[in-house]
Amino acid sequence: MNYDELWQTVLVELEIQISRPNFLTWLKNSSFVQNKDGEILIALPNHFAKEWVEAKYHKFILGSLRTKDSSIKKVGYIVDRNIFKKESSPPAETVLAKAQPNKDQLSFLEEMKIDPESGLNPRYNVNSFVVGSNNELAYAASLAVIESVGKKYNPFFIYGGTGLGKTHLLQAIGNEIKNLSKGKIKIKYVSSEKFTNDVIWAIRNKRMEDVKKNYRTTDVLLIDDIQFIGGKEKTEEEFFHTFNTLYENNKQIVLSSDRPPRAIPILEERLRSRFEGGMIADITQPDYETRMAIIKVKLQEMNESLPDEVIILAAKKIQRNIRELEGAINKIIFYKNRKNNLFDIGQAEKIINELTEQSAINITPTQIIKTVASFHEISPADLTSKTRRKEIVEPRQITIYFLRELLNLSYPYIAEKIGKRDHTTAIYSYEKINRLIKKDQGFQQKIMIIKEMINKSNNL
């Protein structure tokens, strides 16, 4: 029997001896710390518990321990602040709402983390970026950009779905260049929202020169989520000139977007062709092994550990989004620390299931049909009609694919839903789309965009 178990059996005996309130208050969050030459050390949640246990239960504890293991000579107690903290923290959600009076209220804690000059957050670096087959190209190109700033791949354009690591990579490029050049290279990281705001501010205050100077004198310009400037004419124009100035002077430009340049709607042609003139790399969803690696890196960063079964489960279940994956791990760790030794796999499974179901729970078949139809600019009625026109058949198959993939509906039900077809049609369609996704990058891209549209339609 190890000492943890030994302590647990002592607790069981104590629980019978003393009243339940006393047990819960003083001993529930206790744990075995160490055994040094027969001197046992027990951690208690606070000073009150320490005083109490020393005064009231010490004799019993020592006696009980010694009957089980005669090598034990002494028992000591310490206050472990961690178990205290965990024990006393009420649910986080309620507090979050209280602490944020209004989402526009600026907070300097956020600001403190970010380097005011470059806008970079030092948290992101190249080493913590987990490389897998899904992002190899983007990663390799990033390293090349870091090595020869402005010379090799310019502009460098990264695209991929939300929560897959675009911002991480962009920030890491900035941080790495900053560290290597020891501050000699001027770097600027902005979101396209910030860029737009700056342009608007400049127009309003007639200070265009300031903004021009600000952006055009930098050596490395990193713009996140560039797709949002599409359709904002003045911003696009300003960006176009900034882009040209920097490009002509061999300054590095790195852009990120949730889709390739040609798929950004209402983006001016001259910008599109410029984006495509450099290096384009995509980041797709990580495979299982990469997800495992990501969880392990994340745990290392947090200095925590989880049983392998939990890691495998999380990696298996949460496939789409790294941010979600990290969120799940954070939540599991939070629960694990609060529950201390009462944590088990079942609980982790519950958390993961909750998270994965949460995103799909509110989607209805009708929503999927509507979204797919509106993406293809056809009417929902066409999808469920009998027609076999080519421009209808593929969207119909995509609909079937999503009904199966997102809602996990049965084939007969799907077939019924999609115009009283045979269930084999549904099976065929699902498999066909799956094949296409694996084969055709462009098609995969399209499926991803539709998927995001479905998720968004759900949030509205």
Could you say which of 1, 71, 104, 303 contacts another protein (CB under 8 A)?
104
Tell me: does residue 102 bind another protein (CB under 8 A): yes
Single residue of 46, 167, 227, 371 touching another protein by CB under 8 A:
46
Alpha carbons 74 and 338: distance in angstroms, whole number: 29
Exactly one of 16, 109, 206, 459 binds another protein (CB under 8 A); that residue is 109
For another protein, give the closer residue by CB, 85 or 270.
85
Stretch of residues binding another protein (CB under 8 A), selected from 95-103, 125-133, 217-225, 427-435: 95-103
Q: For residues 163 and 324, is the Cβ–Cβ distance under 8 A?
A: yes
Binding of another protein by 81 (CB under 8 A): yes
Q: What is the Cα gyration radius of the chain?
A: 29
250 is an interface residue for another protein by CB under 8 A? no
- Least distance to another protein, CB of residue 29, Å: 11
Q: How far is CA 107 from CA 8, 94, 103, in A?
A: 45, 19, 10
Residue number, 52 or 228, with CB nearest to another protein: 52
Q: Which uninterrupted H or E stretch holds 222? A: strand 220-224
- Tell me, rounded to whole angstroms, the distance of Cα 300 from its chain centroid: 16
Strands of the sheet containing 220-224, edge to edge, are: 187-191, 220-224, 252-257, 156-160, 279-283
What letters, b where the CB count within 10 A reaches 16 and e where it falls short, cover 60-74?
ebbebbeeeeeebee
Residue 90 sits in the site that holds another protein (CB under 8 A): yes
Closest to another protein by CB, 17 or 249: 17
Q: By rule CB under 8 A, what count of residues binds another protein?
A: 37
| Least Å from the CB of residue 205 to another protein | 10
Min dist CB 134 to another protein, Å, is 32
Output the CA angle 360-363-365, nearest 5 degrees.
125
Stretch that binds another protein, among 1-9, 47-55, 218-226, 231-239 (CB under 8 A): 47-55
Q: Does 209 bind another protein (CB under 8 A)?
A: no
Closest alpha carbon to 252 in 143, 155, 120:
155
* Residue of 371, 396, 375 whose CA lies nearest to 385: 396
128 is a site residue for another protein (CB under 8 A): no
Residue 235 in the binding site for another protein (CB under 8 A): no
Q: Which two tokens stand for residue 45?
A: 């949640």
Q: Identify the residue among 4, 36, 39, 47 touching another protein (CB under 8 A).
A: 47
Q: Is 303 a binder of another protein (CB under 8 A)? A: no
Show the beta-strand stretches assigned E in 121-166. 156-160
Cis peptide preceding 155, ω within 30 of 0: yes
Q: Which of 11, 55, 300, 254 lies closest to 150 in space, CA to CA?
A: 254
- Under the binding rule (CB under 8 A), the answer on residue 460 touching another protein is no
- The answer to whether the CB of 242 falls within 8 A of the CB of 208 is no
84 is a contact residue toward another protein (CB under 8 A):
yes
Q: Angle at Cα 36 formed by Cα 30 and Cα 39, nearest 5°?
A: 65
- Do 286 and 292 meet the contact criterion of CB atoms below 8 Å apart? no
The span of 79-87, 148-156, 220-228, 451-459 binding another protein (CB under 8 A) equals 79-87
Contact 337, 367 (CB under 8 A): no
Residue 69 to residues 40, 76, 77, 130, 133, Cα–Cα distance (Å) = 11, 16, 18, 47, 54
Neighbours of 283 (CB within 10 A): 23
Site stretch for another protein (CB under 8 A), options 17-25, 237-245, 309-317, 445-453: 17-25
Selected from 12, 24, 381, 393, the binder of another protein by CB under 8 A is 24
Cβ 59 to another protein shortest distance, Å: 15
408 binds another protein (CB under 8 A): no
| Contacting residue, 107, 127, 408, 459, with another protein by CB under 8 A | 107
Q: What is the C-alpha to C-alpha distance for residues 137 and 139, in angstroms, rounded to an integer?
A: 5
For another protein, the closer of residues 224 and 282 by Cβ is 224
112 binds another protein (CB under 8 A): yes
> 1 or 55: whose CB is closer to another protein?
55
Instruction: Choose, by CB under 8 A, the member of 4, 39, 48, 442 that binds another protein.
Output: 48
| 349-368 positions binding another protein, by CB under 8 A | none
Do residues 289 and 132 touch, judged by C-beta distance below 8 A? yes
Tell me if 79 contacts another protein by CB under 8 A.
yes
- Least separation in angstroms between residue 139's CB and another protein is 32
Does 17 participate in binding another protein (rule CB under 8 A)? no
Q: Compute the least distance from the CB of residue 450 to another protein, in Å.
A: 31
Residue 98 near another protein by CB under 8 A: yes
Which residues contribute to the site for another protein (CB under 8 A)?
21-22, 24-25, 46-52, 55, 79, 81-82, 84-85, 88-92, 95-96, 98-99, 101-102, 104-112
